[in-house]
Structure 1
Amino acid sequence: MTAVSRVAIVGSGVAGTAAAILLAEGGVHVDVFEQKPDLSTLGSGITLQGNALRVFDRLGVWERVKEAGYTFDVLGLRAPGPDAQVIAQIPDAPTGGPEYPATLGMYRPDLARILADRATELGARIHYGTTVTSFTQDPDGVDVTLSDGSTGRYDVLIGADGLHSSIRKQLGIETEPQRTGMGIWRAFVPRPAEVTHTDLYYGGGVYIAGYCPTSDDMMYAYLVEPAQDRHLLSPEEGVEVMKELSRSYGGPWNEIRESLGEASRVNYTWFTKHVVPDAWNRGRVVIIGDAAHSCPPTIAQGAAQAAEDALVLSELLLSRDAIDQSLWDAFHARRLPRATQVVEASVQLGQWQIDHEQDADVPGLVRRIAMLVSEPA
């Protein structure tokens, strides 16, 4: 007999849907409560490293993800300027193991759809336009009150509700995401034929310019600048800003710049960092994914770490016959040190750019994290 028979999950992002898939597969009654009215997902593209792909295989969605995305095994470095000289092409570490590509890019809403479809196929119920407004707990379970006024009782409540997690706040956890000093412009654009992997351009008009193919036809492009308030800009103004910032970069950026327009879904967000430094649970309520930790996308590990949280938590809930302190201790021992190292490394890479650090051991830091995440969570 498993420790849980009924679980409520708040949030339908990677962490929430991954947990829903694994728990529903294990015979648990799962209700996912998502505040958004539908499956719509902000963003253009996402870069997934091999350790994320390894988890997606466990979720039973790897073939769908591979079909929807674009795989590659090298990382390119180019110089800013009109010639966009190729400085190096570096083999990317296959952190998921030799059976998976090192990296996959895909359209972020496609990933959301694949995960949600898999969860519902296995019997999980996703309730859109609904969230948990309050909860109380006792030694045997958690009583939740929903935004539609209804109530329910569950063995465990999982807060997978993102950076500004309501569940985290209701638990009284004071750790909040902090800005790192960088902001990122992203756009979804047609893929130039010469783009077959991610290229990064360091320096020039912004800290970092880059792109990642997401399919045979499309990719997302991004520019990382000093963080500033861009929220009052209209979509049309955002396109013009991105065009102007990209003028320091040649090569594929010439074609990217010409293709930027209304259909590019240009958006701007700040880089943030946080790790809840102690227990991620209070009793039978636990937070995972961006609710528990966030990092800049400098090592492309955000989704991977969220998926790993879900994998480890679900494994423990399904393999134990009681929800006790030993379960939570095992969860934190496997997740807190690993997530902390990833966050700290991601922040350090960005800080070296902010400080214009010339002697930083970027390859050494990236290699260390690749070795860490190559080991299964």
Structure 2
Amino acid sequence: MSVDIAVVGGGPSGLFAALGLIRAFEGLTVKVYERAQSYRECGAGITLDVNGMKALRAVDEELYAKFQSTVVTDVSQMQSFDQHGEPIGDRSTVSMKTIIDNIKQKTGVGMGMIGWFDIQQMIFDALPEGTVEFGHAFTDLAEEADGLSLTFENKPPVKAKYMVGADGYFSPVREILHHDGPPEFTDTVMWRARFPWKPDSGLPKGPDFVHSFSGGRLQGLVYGLPGDVVCWILSAPVDLCEAQGVEYDQAQHSRSKQRRQISSYQNADEGQGLSAHTRCLKVAEIAAPQMQELVKLTDPGAIIEHGLFVRQAGELDKYAETGWGKGRITLIGDAAHPMRPTGQGMNTALEDGAVLAWHLQHGGLCEEAMRAFERERIPRVKSMAEQEYARGATAYKEDARAALDRVKTLPMSEQDFSDFNLSFHPSTLMDSWPTVIELTFWRGFVVVAPTLFDPPLAFAAA
């Protein structure tokens, strides 16, 4: 098989990048190669923020409208609890809808909560049929005179002119490009689950509640999504897990082990689910009673367990001039800039897809356009990564109120970070598709492209 662009990784970031590239050029052959055999309903929920929504709108107005009508915007029951299950402060009477309406009035774009799986499925449905090739576990690549040759486990090789690595924070594509080793394990373990609402859950029916749990060095979150779906997340430091009899050997964080574990977001089998359920139950013994009961109530196969990994924001400095890709290959999302899962990982990945499509549409299908995309992204995602790392790293405190007050120690104030987030202004793809122009050698030419967002603010990590 031969394609113009091969996207390795069929998560939301890879799917959206493919959609952007298809929208950017008429007649461009784009294929997404996903190691899972199919998609399954799993994962937790995500706040699709203003910047993520802007990226969707820049690429596909119709898809953006679908997301706007799907996300949860009206949460009337917002409550924080400590590790004993006791409320912290008064129950919130502020309507999330009021907050979101104010943001939409200011920016022209709404935001809200939605399931990770729902994002993936909605983008998948927007792609031309046959774009995603399932069961393709990427193993290697080789440069050839006219492009690249990609190899997959037990599959024929694929010839591609260009390639996008969207294969997560244990990216094999990145390892081939840079040989820079795995991302840094944060000594934190997370469990996620998604399941249909049950009458004995003790939770409201419907997507209008968010319950957070802090203290005891644990973090928990429970919330509803459309379709009477309940999601919960529980995370804890490794030493706390081990104190509960849940071992987390560093050897289990080898690249191959974690790649199989992360792929379980699509392919969780009964064995993995039961193991995750048993381990999570042990840790939940010291969590708030409400969290304990939810874990007990959850079907074992619905629970996913994984470690949290990051690359320090400062690592991006070494790619500031050259870009994080090489030759005909670029990276997006967690493969390029893995962050702690505190809100911006998915949104910045969607930004990547919109900005990459714009650069290739305006600069031509060429290596220089890829490098321009990367250099454009590095200052912004570096600031995002600094904020998200600090936000996550300071969350696991013994005192619940101290955990909630951690925003005071972040590199940016909440207002500054909000302003920085809203400063993302992607240019919409041209309405008329250009002919695919492939430019390999650019010596002697200077390409000038307008910036896609306001100059990012510079902040040092805490």
TM-score (norm 1): 0.82
Q: Does 1:114 align with 2:114?
A: no
**More deviation, 35-44/217-226:** 35-44
- Per the alignment, residue 221 of structure 2 pairs with 210
1:12 counterpart (10, 13, 16): 10
- Per the alignment, residue 224 of structure 1 pairs with 235
C-alpha deviation, 1:242, in angstroms: 5.9
1:303 alignment partner, SS class: helix
Are the counterparts in 2 of residues 95 and 373 from structure 1 also a CA contact under 8 Å?
no
AA of the residue aligned to 1:184: M
2:414 counterpart (366, 369, 377): 366
Are the counterparts in 2 of residues 12 and 34 from structure 1 also a CA contact under 8 Å?
yes
1:186 and 1:61 map into 2 onto residues whose CA distance is 27
AA of the residue aligned to 1:24: I
Q: Does 1:314 align with 2:357?
A: yes
Where structure 1 has 5 or more consecutive residues not aligned to the other structure, the ranges are: none
- Per the alignment, residue 104 of structure 1 pairs with 113
Please give the per-residue CA displacement for 1:232-275, whole angstroms capped at 9, x wherever unaligned: 872542463365243356xxx58x63872326712222222115
- Per the alignment, residue 210 of structure 2 pairs with 198
Larger % of helix: which?
2
1:265 and 1:96 map into 2 onto residues whose CA distance is 38
Distance change >3 Å, CA 176–CA 337, structure 1 → 2: farther
1:97 and 1:51 map into 2 onto residues whose CA distance is 13
- Per the alignment, residue 30 of structure 2 pairs with 30
1:319 and 1:75 map into 2 onto residues whose CA distance is 46
1:18 and 1:340 map into 2 onto residues whose CA distance is 21
C-alpha deviation, 1:139, in angstroms: 6.8
C-alpha deviation, 1:156, in angstroms: 1.0
After superposition, where does 1:1-377 map in structure 2 within 5 Å? 6-25=4-23, 26-27=25-26, 28-40=28-40, 42-57=42-57, 58-59=59-60, 60-66=62-68, 68-72=70-74, 76=78, 78-80=80-82, 81-87=84-90, 89=92, 94=103, 98-106=107-115, 108-121=116-129, 125-137=131-143, 140-189=146-195, 190=197, 191-193=203-205, 196-203=208-215, 205-227=216-238, 228=241, 229=247, 234-238=275-279, 240-241=281-282, 243-247=284-288, 257=294, 260-262=297-299, 265-274=302-311, 277=316, 278=319, 279-298=323-342, 300-321=343-364, 323-325=366-368, 327-354=369-396, 361=408, 365-376=413-424, 377=426
Distance change >3 Å, CA 77–CA 335, structure 1 → 2: farther
C-alpha deviation, 1:196, in angstroms: 2.0
AA of the residue aligned to 2:310: K
1:70 alignment partner, SS class: coil
2:73 alignment partner, SS class: strand
1:347 and 1:75 map into 2 onto residues whose CA distance is 28
Are the counterparts in 2 of residues 49 and 96 from structure 1 also a CA contact under 8 Å?
no
Question: What is the count of residue pairs matched by the alignment?
Answer: 363
Are the counterparts in 2 of residues 44 and 265 from structure 1 also a CA contact under 8 Å?
no
1:173 and 1:96 map into 2 onto residues whose CA distance is 46
Distance change >3 Å, CA 324–CA 295, structure 1 → 2: closer
Are the counterparts in 1 of residues 189 and 237 from structure 2 also a CA contact under 8 Å?
yes
C-alpha deviation, 1:168, in angstroms: 0.8
Distance change >3 Å, CA 32–CA 355, structure 1 → 2: same
Larger % of strand: which?
1
What RMSD, in angstroms, separates the aligned Cα atoms of the two structures? Answer: 3.3
2:37 and 2:74 map into 1 onto residues whose CA distance is 35
1:33 and 1:163 map into 2 onto residues whose CA distance is 16
C-alpha deviation, 1:309, in angstroms: 1.0
Distance change >3 Å, CA 184–CA 118, structure 1 → 2: same
C-alpha deviation, 1:66, in angstroms: 4.5
1:150 alignment partner, SS class: strand
C-alpha deviation, 1:324, in angstroms: 4.1
TM-score (norm 2): 0.69
Are the counterparts in 2 of residues 183 and 226 from structure 1 also a CA contact under 8 Å?
yes
1:43 and 1:114 map into 2 onto residues whose CA distance is 15
Are the counterparts in 2 of residues 210 and 223 from structure 1 also a CA contact under 8 Å?
yes
C-alpha deviation, 1:77, in angstroms: 5.3
1:69 and 1:43 map into 2 onto residues whose CA distance is 16
Distance change >3 Å, CA 102–CA 112, structure 1 → 2: closer
1:183 and 1:152 map into 2 onto residues whose CA distance is 36
**More deviation, 82-91/27-36:** 82-91
Are the counterparts in 1 of residues 42 and 193 from structure 2 also a CA contact under 8 Å?
no
1:290 and 1:82 map into 2 onto residues whose CA distance is 34
1:132 and 1:261 map into 2 onto residues whose CA distance is 33
C-alpha deviation, 1:282, in angstroms: 0.9
